[in-house]
């Protein structure tokens, strides 16, 4: 179904109370599908009925969890990890992962299944690697998993005072970058996978960059200011300085500009549709021009924003009542271009669009669709039943936990 509106708010309407949703008569699904099409037409746009797609449902217990990892999905069932190919849902491997701890990340890198664990309520983490599809522990180390690179045969781990790169097959250390006393170390890069660089700031103010794949030092520059706060932002590095922040180009550490914008108590988004977005810890954001660091706009309204194509998709700091959760902004001006009504975001989609969900009236039912920030249109791909509202997208699928704890997977392409 395709819904295109000329005004800002998309409203698919609410399912009437008299519809027998809870008794589940024989024509239930057909009735709901027909009602959905009518509501979309009444909402002001053209409707297109899609063929219903049945999900693949995988039995699971409440304590089990699923993790999307590129074109794969891992289902963690106690001490077993089953890996599925996406979107086909073909089983790739079943790996015995016998180490103790709560699994918080899984990456399949070559023949190694690398698992990040949280060990206690204090946040202590470590990392273990298993032979994918087998029952053999390859190695376990007392550092947090950052990322893996199958092409390089390495895993990047973060310890108390260093970032450490280890061999995927053996866990032996290949090299490390040490964090200076009273200094900082951060991973940086333009993508979302394995980082490109490691950035170090010493307590004396010295900046250094290293190749995150080889450990080779790439650049080093002294600074007049002593250690402050560093924020990698794509190919930029912002470093707190007297009266503001200095910006450098990564990895060569060429100084670009200084801004006196008040960015105290703020954090920064890695990618923000061609601008630099900074967010205050409570609410509100300041947007800088990456060309010279001048302030483009400031708003107290937004709690968070992320890029979708050439637009920003922002979340209001006031989500109660009838306030739409998702707003489309012009990155350069902050102008509000519209919103998506009651739809909520799920994840990025091809072509400058993103996937979203909207409750379908019943507590455990939702629509899922493809949302386009260019014209605020919604292509409704289908609806899901008995969903506990814990949904993610990735690898061309929508994966949700159902009310009985099982995992349902719908193809999105």
Is 320 in contact with 340 (CB distance < 8 Å)?
A: no
Q: What is the pLDDT of residue 259?
A: 95
* pLDDT band, very low/low/confident/very high, at 339 (cuts 50, 70, 90): very high
Which 8-state DSSP code applies to residue 54?
A: P
Taking CA atoms, 400 is separated from 89, 101, 224, 368, in Å, by 14, 24, 52, 11
Asked if residue 399 has pLDDT above 60, the reply is yes
Start-to-end CA distance of the chain, whole Å, equals 15
Q: What is the pLDDT of residue 204?
A: 86
Q: E strand or H helix at 191, and its extent?
A: none
Q: What is the pTM assigned to this prediction?
A: 0.83
Using only C-alpha atoms, the chain has a radius of gyration, in whole angstroms, of 24
Cα(366)–Cα(110) distance, integer angstroms: 37
Q: What is the pLDDT of residue 321?
A: 58
| Range 54-60 average pLDDT | 95
Cα(278)–Cα(280) distance, integer angstroms: 7
Mean pLDDT check: name the lowest of 12-26, 280-294, 384-398. Answer: 12-26
Residue 326 corresponds to which tokens in the numbers above? 């998702």
Cα(268)–Cα(285) distance, integer angstroms: 9
Mean pLDDT check: name the lowest of 39-43, 79-83, 280-284, 293-297. Answer: 39-43
Residue 52 corresponds to which tokens in the numbers above? 């219903």
Q: Which residues of 111-215 form beta strands (DSSP E)? A: 112-118, 125-131, 137-141, 144-149, 154-158, 162-167, 173-178, 184-188, 197-201, 207-211
| Range 33-41 average pLDDT | 37
Cα(378)–Cα(353) distance, integer angstroms: 10
Write the burial class of residue 197 (CB in 10 Å: 0-12 exposed, 13-18 middle, 19+ buried).
buried
pLDDT in tens, 289-312: 999 999 999 999 999 999 999 999
| Range 325-337 average pLDDT | 95
Residue 82 corresponds to which tokens in the numbers above? 């089953």
Residue 271 corresponds to which tokens in the numbers above? 């990618």
Give the DSSP per-residue string, 257-268. Answer: EEE----TTEEE
* pLDDT band, very low/low/confident/very high, at 7 (cuts 50, 70, 90): very low
Beta bridge partners of 349: 353
* pLDDT band, very low/low/confident/very high, at 228 (cuts 50, 70, 90): confident
Cα(74)–Cα(38) distance, integer angstroms: 38
Cα(376)–Cα(40) distance, integer angstroms: 14
Residue 204 corresponds to which tokens in the numbers above? 């004396």
Cα(14)–Cα(268) distance, integer angstroms: 38
């Amino acid at each position: 179904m395709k819904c295109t509106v000329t005004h800002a708010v998309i409203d698919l309407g609410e399912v009437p109370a008299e519809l027998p949703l809870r008794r589940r008569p024989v024509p239930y699904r057909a009735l709901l599908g027909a009602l959905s099409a009518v509501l979309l037409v009444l909402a002001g746009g053209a409707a297109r009925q899609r063929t219903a797609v049945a999900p693949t449902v995988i039995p699971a217990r409440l304590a089990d969890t699923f993790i999307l990892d590129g074109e794969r999905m891992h289902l963690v069932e106690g001490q077993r990890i089953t890996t599925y190919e996406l979107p086909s849902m073909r089983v790739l491997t079943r790996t015995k992962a016998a180490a103790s701890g709560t699994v918080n990340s899984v990456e399949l890198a070559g023949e190694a299944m690398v698992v990040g664990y949280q060990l206690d309520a204090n946040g202590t983490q470590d990392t273990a690697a298993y032979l994918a599809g087998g029952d053999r522990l390859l190695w376990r180390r007392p550092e947090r998993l950052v990322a893996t690179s199958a092409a390089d045969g390495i895993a990047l781990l973060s310890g108390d005072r260093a970032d450490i790169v280890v061999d995927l097959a053996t866990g032996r250390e290949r090299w490390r970058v040490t964090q200076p006393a009273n200094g900082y170390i951060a991973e940086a890069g333009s993508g979302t996978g394995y980082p490109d660089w490691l950035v170090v700031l010493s307590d004396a103010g010295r900046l250094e960059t290293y190749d995150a794949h080889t450990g080779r030092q790439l650049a080093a520059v002294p600074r007049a200011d002593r250690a402050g706060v560093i924020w990698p932002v794509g190919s930029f590095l912002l470093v707190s300085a007297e009266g503001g922040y200095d910006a450098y180009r990564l990895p060569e550490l060429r100084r670009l500009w200084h801004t006196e914008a008040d960015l105290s108590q703020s954090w920064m988004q890695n990618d923000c549709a061609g601008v630099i977005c900074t967010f205050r810890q409570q609410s509100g954001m300041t947007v800088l021009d990456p060309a010279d660091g001048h302030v483009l706009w400031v708003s107290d309204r937004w709690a968070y924003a992320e890029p979708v194509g050439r637009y920003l998709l922002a979340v209001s700091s006031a989500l109660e009542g009838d306030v739409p959760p998702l707003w489309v902004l012009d990155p350069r001006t902050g102008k509000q271009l519209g919103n998506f009504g009651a739809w909520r975001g799920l994840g990025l989609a091809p072509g400058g669009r993103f996937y979203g969900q909207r409750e379908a009236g019943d507590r455990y039912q939702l629509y899922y669709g493809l949302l386009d920030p260019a014209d605020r249109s919604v292509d409704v791909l289908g609806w899901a039943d008995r969903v506990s509202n814990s949904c993610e997208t990735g690898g061309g699928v929508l994966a949700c936990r159902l009310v009985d704890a099982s995992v349902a997977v719908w193809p999105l392409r």
